[in-house]
Chains A and B, each alone.
Chain A
């Protein structure tokens, strides 16, 4: 009896272990598979408007497997670092709101994530297992889009950017920061810009912008050779180009890598140091198909045509190094953050001299002037203002004439102590090493502290 029990127990154990092994294996996710979006031209009238599919290039003759079966619309896929799961936004019925979902590339029904997000776009996995996404930033008629982070179970939804424009299309860089597109929110500019921010919303800064007004069409992606590639139209409305910039100096290294192509590109994803997956429509074509493109040779190979719907947003399924994580300095108990500047006279690499030098810093909010403070003798200032609130800075001379500014919208997160080198300074400058006079005193508090609430 005992022996029979032991055998039965052993069998159950073996079956269990085998099941675990099977479940934890890569299953039927082929290495080098490609996930992308198909978009139909019939829109809401069709059985589906868009869907996320997976193609095994080793079996290109096989119809791509639909990963979002049962959804009326699905888009913006992002694959996890282990190459086993994917995020997307979708809706099961045409009238449903867009919602965030996570699915397994090995099969199974996608599960909803962060159901309380309004108009989610472009989710991406952070290195710490959470996600970052773009979603509507405000209430009611407010159409601004901001970046948020959330746990995968949908909890801890936290807004991390506060620019009043459109903050969209985030991806996570290997160093842990979030790279995203900032659109049409900056005063006096319609250009898209690439911004980078730590995923707690601190240290937001410009990564790339084209001097002419450009439009960035889809997510930017980090390549394997320390560049960032994206599709850009310069000026907005012109033909799209596949562009790469070096992370070493992203503001001054723009290279068009799609000169050999005369069709239209809607999305690109780097697959090797030299190659890209493209959602591309040849000049004489009608639909966007999936292609592999090698800029060095100009070689363009079709992987899937657009017969099943226009191809968009290709992503390679592969396991990649997990992005770095970090310990946040944000303290939610704090209502303010501080900003110090080393020398407000420093602009474009030179220090302004003479009677036109500014003497005062003004801090402007959405509803007007919030406050001002005198610049120190060395041009430094140190101000404290409400966190999670966009402000603009300007320097003025003794007669109240603006010397520099107003700046683009900036913000600080609770307890963030942000530093800058100058005003409109050369963005490739490291700071000079001297004690700023303003930091030897407490920060000047700029009222009202809580003019606008954060989220």
Chain B
């Protein structure tokens, strides 16, 4: 046979064989992406975006991600926490160069300086510790034991104490710095984030991210906790109604006002529109620090433009301006505090609450918006107040702002690598320009890739129906399908066309953007599970809980049907069987009774629970809503046994906790 004929036969065979394959592949891509016009491209999902795959590992890079920073008393040095590098960077503020990289604990968050300028304290969120850094030698000389997930911190002016906001244990540590030991632990709001000290050092104000416990589908109320330095007790819990995600805080030099950043969610409204602040608005809280002082919320948004995700605030040396980073809008807002005072003083008390939803007022007190690089986070002022340093987290860079000219006058490169696909995805995740008028970013509802502890009424399934609990995005890899209804076979589908139609209400992501965004989301992890011992050995209570989780018979010895055993629907390693199930959790506003079986990875940090967030705690899943034994047979359990079961559930997923406090 002549070669030409061989080629023809092979070509025909290839067409015959490959056409069904091609057809199948196209259908598969369309199903997974939810995009009818999506081209056939197997590479992203099956090759270079595959989590843990060879190519995705080859593409990994070590970014720095500067989060917070402090300036030395003489103004010559910046101390920058590099969140993804587990390091404290020492930067020459004059030359704009990195002088030293000091290894600290995992996921460093904030840095505070001892008043003598010789010691830095760095909170390590994933190590549950505070690293004590001798700045002369650059050595970590101690690691202080604090609560879980330490975030913001502040040293008292006398250098005697350190206040630490423990974001994961919802409390505040007061550390005796002379002894290097925690002296007191006080309860805070949910997920405390930052600590601000009054200029006289007599009080510490601690912000919180999540709403306090409120009845289901009622207005969120989030706390700023005030601690008296004298008594070291909570002296006030300032409650900010209809606000959450309160992150940064600072005081005027005179101490007459505290300013916090905040988000005002509209999660109780049907999410039928985005414009005019129907999804979220962003602003500040102005708090009079004295007993019974007023709390006024003001928006930083405008009628047709939104400035997402305010993160940190610093008040200028003269107390004239407040500077706020908007990490989702890549700007710093400059606020005229005299205009704010005037506005508050000129308004009758009963009308002050109306300001909280007014989009026109910002024109009266926002002086300007200063553009920055990607994802501006922490702020710090030079001692003379003339320079404002901004941590541009996803640029691995510090921006320098002239506080008189109100413009960026320079940048300091910290030396991070160029953006890879995951980094590009991180930028997309954190930027709000993919929503109509910049209304919100992915981060707005998923801070740090986690959740916002709220429930939402989304449009497609009808107004007032099918309220859904917003879940964490951490640990989502290999847990498809997604959504409580299990409708989305992949994250490409979840974040694609319908997401733009019903949520962001502007342009859908391009396919390339979608690949990057999904790559980033799949990279998110919970970090160490603080209930999971490093040794792998469970505590006695956890062991008892594990037995209950896996049991096949009730306490009375009756067999439990397979479908009513915990382990059946929540088998390891993901603790989900990837199936829909009707466990009797449907409510009167649900149009279906079957819901996607969620994974249980780091379950303890994800309250509220159930598909609509009705259960405020893990206990409530069964004590309030498990009466018919369909969501696992539990009604034969004693309270002690239920406690054991929950102790075990808390150990599921995530990395084991560190054996010893690291950061030293």
A and B part of one assembly: yes
- Which residues in window 230-272 of B have CB below 8 A to A? 242, 264-270, 272
Q: Point out the residues of chain B lying under 8 angstroms from A175, CB to CB.
A: 304, 436-437, 506
B463 A249 Cβ-Cβ under 8 A: no
Most buried by A among B305, B357, B361, B459: B357
Is A441 within 8 A of B464, CB to CB? yes
Q: Which of A176, A426, A430 has the most chain B CB within a 10 Å cutoff? A: A430
Q: What B residues does A349 contact at CB under 8 A?
A: 354
A286 interface contact, C-beta 8 A? no
- Using a CB–CB cutoff of 8 Å, the interface residues on chain A facing chain B are 175-176, 203, 205, 226, 246-253, 324-329, 338, 340, 342, 349, 382, 417-419, 426-436, 439-441, 443
Q: Is B463 a contact partner of A430 (Cβ separation < 8 A)?
A: no
User: Given known contacts A248-B304, A251-B303, A430-B357, what 19 new A-B pairs fall within 8 Å (CB)?
Assistant: A175-B304, A226-B305, A246-B363, A248-B303, A248-B363, A250-B303, A253-B363, A324-B507, A325-B506, A326-B500, A326-B505, A327-B505, A338-B463, A418-B272, A429-B359, A431-B266, A431-B278, A433-B242, A436-B270
A226 to B302: give the CA distance in the assembly, Å: 11
Query: Which among A205, A249, A435, A440 is the interface contact of B359 at CB below 8 angstroms?
Result: A249
Cα–Cα, bound, A281→B650 (Å): 78
Which A residues are in CB contact (< 8 Å) with B187? none
Q: Which of B134-182 contact A (CB under 8 A)?
A: none
B-to-A contact residues, CB < 8 Å: 217-220, 242, 264-270, 272-273, 275-278, 281, 299, 301-305, 354, 357-363, 436-437, 457, 459, 463-464, 497, 500-502, 505-508, 589
Q: How far is the CA of A443 from the CA of B464 in the complex (A)?
A: 10
Contacts of A441 in B (CB 8 A): 464
A251 contact set on B, CB distance < 8 A: 303, 360
A226-B305, A439-B464 given as contacts; is B299 within 8 A of A430 (CB)?
yes
Interface contact B277-A431, CB-CB below 8 Å: yes
A327 to B496 alpha-carbon distance, docked (Å) = 11
CB distance from B118 to the nearest CB of A (A): 47
Q: Is the CB of A433 within 8 A of B265?
A: yes
Known: A226-B305, A419-B269, A432-B357. A340 touches B463 (CB 8 A): yes
Contact in complex: A433, B359 (CB < 8 Å): no
Known contacts A417-B463, A428-B358, A439-B464: does B268 contact A247 (CB below 8 Å)? no
| Residues from chain B with Cβ under 8 Å of A418 in the complex | 272-273
Contacts of B272 in A (CB 8 A): 340, 417-419
Contact of A443 among B265, B305, B359, B463 (CB under 8 A): B463
Contacts of A328 in B (CB 8 A): 501
Please, which residue of chain A has its CB at the minimum distance from the CB of B363?
A: A249
Provide the bound-state CA to CA distance between A418 and B276, in Å: 13
Contact: B360 with A249, CB < 8 Å? yes
Bound CA span A453–B219, Å: 41
The chain A residue sitting closest to B505, CB to CB, is A326
B303 to chain A, nearest CB (A): 5
Q: Do B268 and A430 touch (CB < 8 A)? A: no
Known A-B contacts A250-B304, A433-B265, A440-B589; A176 and B506 likewise in contact (beta carbons under 8 Å): yes
The A contact surface, by secondary structure, is: loop
Q: Bound complex: CA of A433 vs CA of B357, how far in Å?
A: 10
- Least distance between B310 CB and chain A CB atoms (Å): 15
* A325→B305 CA distance, assembly (Å): 17
Query: Closest 4 A-B residue pairs measured CB to CB?
Result: A430-B277, A428-B360, A248-B302, A327-B501
CA of A336 to CA of B550, assembled, Å: 52
Nearest-neighbour CB distance to chain B for A61, whole angstroms, equals: 41
B509 smallest CB distance to A (angstroms): 12
Q: Which residue of A lies closest to B499 (CB)?
A: A327
B389 to chain A, nearest CB (A): 27
Check A428 against B303 for contact (C-beta < 8 Å): yes
How far is B220's CA from A127's CA once the two chains are assembled, in angstroms?
A: 38
Q: B residues within 8 A CB of A248?
A: 302-305, 362-363
Given contacts A419-B272, A430-B276, A433-B268, contact A329 B358 (CB under 8 A): no
- In the complex the two chains form, what is the Cα distance from A441 to B589 in whole Å? 9
- The answer on a CB contact under 8 Å between B464 and A440 is yes
Residue numbers in A under 8 Å from B360 (CB-CB): 249, 251-252, 426, 428
Closest to B274 in A: A203
Cα A12 to Cα B278 in complex, Å, equals 59
23 contacts between A and B (CB under 8 A): A226-B305, A248-B302, A248-B362, A248-B363, A253-B363, A327-B505, A329-B501, A329-B502, A417-B463, A419-B269, A419-B273, A419-B278, A429-B359, A430-B266, A430-B278, A431-B266, A432-B242, A433-B269, A434-B219, A435-B269, A435-B464, A439-B464, A440-B589
Q: Within the assembled complex, what's the spacing in Å between the Cα atoms of A165 and B272?
A: 27
Report the separation of the CA atoms of residues A418 and B357 in the bound assembly, to the nearest whole angstrom.
Answer: 19
Given A247-B305, A250-B303, decide whether A436 and B281 contact each other with a Cβ distance below 8 A.
Answer: no
A340 to B278, CA, bound (A): 13
Give B217 Cβ to nearest chain A Cβ, in Å.
5
Enumerate chain B residues within 8 angstroms of A253, measured Cβ to Cβ: 363
Among A246, A253, A433, which residue has the most Cβ atoms of chain B within 10 A?
Answer: A433
Other-chain contact of B268, A205, A326, A417, A435 (Cβ < 8 Å): A435
Question: Given the complex of chains A and B, what is the CA–CA distance between A428 and B304 in angstroms?
Answer: 10
Q: Contacts of B302 on A, CB cut-off 8 Å? A: 246-249
The complex places the Cα of A340 from the Cα of B463 at a distance, in Å, of 9
Q: Inside 8 A of B305's CB, which chain A residues have their CB?
A: 226, 247-248
Give bound CA distance, A325 to B497, whole Å.
12
Q: Which chain B residue shows the least CB distance to A434? A: B268
Cα–Cα, bound, A165→B464 (Å): 35
User: Of all chain A residues, which has the CB nearest B467?
Assistant: A435
User: Which residue of chain B has the shortest Cβ distance to A342 in the bound complex?
Assistant: B269
- Please tell me if the beta carbons of B463 and A439 are within 8 angstroms of each other in the complex: yes
> Chain A CB within 10 Å — which of B268, B276, B278 has the most?
B276
By a CB distance below 8 angstroms, the chain A residues around B497 are 327
Within the complex, the shortest CB–CB distance from B15 to chain A, in Å, comes to 28
**A129 vs chain B, min Cβ distance (A):** 13
Of B265, B267, B275, B507, the residue contacting A203 (CB under 8 A) is B275
From residue A227, how far is it (CB to closest CB) to chain B in Å? 11
A326 to B274, CA, bound (A): 12
From B270, B301, B508, B589, give the contact of A419 (CB < 8 A). B270
Contact A327/B508 with A226-B305, A419-B269, A430-B357 known, Cβ cut-off 8 Å: yes
Q: Is the CB of A326 within 8 A of B278?
A: no
A344 to B270, CA, bound (A): 17
Report yes or no: B508 in contact with A431, Cβ–Cβ below 8 A. no
Is the CB–CB distance between B363 and A433 below 8 Å?
Answer: no
Q: How far, in whole Å, are A342 and B270 apart by their CA atoms in the complex?
A: 10
CB-CB under 8 A from A342, the residues of chain B are 269
In the complex, which residues of chain A have a beta carbon less than 8 angstroms from the beta carbon of B506?
A: 175-176, 324-326
| Pick from B264, B436, B464: contact of A326, CB under 8 Å | B436
State the Cβ distance, B407 to closest chain A Cβ, in Å. 16
Enumerate chain A residues within 8 angstroms of B268, measured Cβ to Cβ.
433-435
B87 CB to nearest chain A CB (Å): 39
A349 CA / B360 CA spacing, docked (Å): 13
Min C-beta distance of A208 to chain B, whole Å: 11
Contact between B304 and A247, CB atoms less than 8 A apart? yes
Complex CA–CA separation, A433 to B278 (angstroms): 9
Residue among B272, B275, B361, B459 with max Cβ neighbours from chain A (10 Å): B272
Q: How far is the CB of A410 from chain B (nearest CB, A)?
A: 14
A175 CA to B281 CA, complexed, in Å: 18
Chain A residues, Cβ within 8 Å of B464:
435, 439-441
Does the CB pair A417–B459 fall under 8 Å? yes
Residues of B within 8 A of A250 (CB): 303-304
Interchain CA distance A329-B267 in the complex, whole Å: 20
Query: With contacts A175-B506, A440-B589 known, is A249 near B303, CB below 8 A?
Result: yes
Return A323 CB to nearest CB of chain B, in Å: 10
CB distance from A156 to the nearest CB of B (A): 17
> Contacts of A443 on B, CB cut-off 8 Å?
463
* Inter-chain contacts of B273 with A (CB < 8 A): 203, 418-419
Interchain CA distance A419-B281 in the complex, whole Å: 17
The CA of A123 and the CA of B471, in the complex, are separated in Å by: 45
Q: Is the CB of B507 within 8 A of A326?
A: yes
What residues of chain B lie closer than 8 Å to A247, measured between beta carbons? 302-305
